[in-house]
Amino acid sequence: MQIVLAYSTLRPHSRRIIDVIEKEQQKADLTPFSVGDSVRVHTRVVEGDKERIQIFTGVVIGRKGRGLNQTFTVRRISYGEGVERVFPLHSPRIAKVEVEQQGRARRAKLNYLRTRKGKEATAVRE
């Protein structure tokens, strides 16, 4: 039986140890990007014994979490269908994140883009 403790219930010494371990696993060379930006996410894909880079291009519609557990959601329209993918920010599977175009979002989550069709779905001006 595994016991799961909330981060806030740990003793200060245990919390410091967890923070040190998390800091070791965090990426230092992150590209700064925000919600509304058009990005290209380069992910490492392992097929058999080979590894290749696959690129997922879209608009960042949200960021979530803090520290090592931080994730971001990228949305794009593929063959007329909306496709969303959630990426862990500090994952070793992510090679790099390139910002193609900066957006001007005035809110933290762009869920309203899900209801839009065509070119409206990629426009992030309010």
d(CA 112, CA 62): 11
Report which residue type is found at 89.
L
Domains of the chain and CATH, by start:
30-121 (2.30.30.790)
Place of tokens 């290209």: 40
Q: Are 53 and 95 contacting, i.e. CB atoms less than 8 angstroms apart? A: yes
The pTM assigned to this predicted structure is 0.81
Could you report the per-residue pLDDT of 18-69, keeping only the tens digit for each? Answer: 888 888 887 878 888 999 999 999 999 999 999 999 999 999 999 999 888 8
